[in-house]
Structure 1
Amino acid sequence: MSGNLLHVNATVTCPHGARATILPAQVRVVVGGNFAASVADLDTVGGCPFFLANTPHPCVTIRWVAPSTRIRINGSPAVLRSSTGLCLAPDQAPQGPPNVSVVQQRVVGR
């Protein structure tokens, strides 16, 4: 499945609306003026408002489980807009897929 490559300033949110921050693992590959995202990056979510049984159970990280099959960035698969991911709580419980709403429009991969 093809899609636009994500970069560190792409707008990615958890299913509950909290914004994700991508800390790049590499600083060599640039798309749209920003570092390209790969599965090696640290994707954190801050301020997730989700509660489970009256206990805070926020999304804190994103794990990309189906990234690009063809594009590698420093040996790690690139993350595409069409990539499948999971937002995870502190106890690693899956919270749902991340939502990608804004991404650069020039570079497309598979």
Structure 2
Amino acid sequence: MSCPHGGRVTVLPSQSRVLVAGQPVATLADLFTVAGCAFTAGTKPQPCVTVRWITPSARIRVNGSPALLQGSAGICQSAEQIPQGPPVVSVVQQRAVGL
């Protein structure tokens, strides 16, 4: 996953009990940080630093937190919480399907 400007997104899972293909299931409670974003608005650097998810699963919860699915929408944000655009998700697992 990356920000729209090429910064790399790293996920710190909030849980490790529920796995799919050996990896923790992504949830709304996970911490998504961005490193390496070089976006500048005018002369002021405004790099993406985090991803905030807007539409997690309405029905599937993992340890009480809504799961993030292939169709979940998110927004990358600067340190000032200025929206910078949607994250680019390049790989998802297809072993489980949910709503």
Query: Could you say which TM-score interval applies, normalised by the shorter chain?
Result: over 0.9
Aligned counterpart, 1:68: 57
**Are residue 15 (structure 1) and residue 8 (structure 2) matched?**
no
Alignment equivalent of 1:53, drawn from 42, 61, 70: 42
Stretches of structure 1 lacking an aligned partner (at least 5 in a row): 1-11
TM-superposition CA deviations, 1:40-75 (whole Å, max 9, x none): 000000010101112210000001010111110111
Q: When the two structures are superposed, what TM-score results if normalisation uses the length of structure 1?
A: 0.87
Report sequence identity in percent.
Answer: 59
Stretches of structure 2 lacking an aligned partner (at least 5 in a row): none
- Provide the alpha-carbon RMSD of the alignment: 0.8
Which structure has the higher relative contact order (CA within 8 Å, separation 6+)? Answer: 1
- What is the count of residue pairs matched by the alignment? 99
Aligned counterpart, 1:91: 80
Q: Which has the higher strand share?
A: 1
Distance 1:27 1:33 in 2: 10
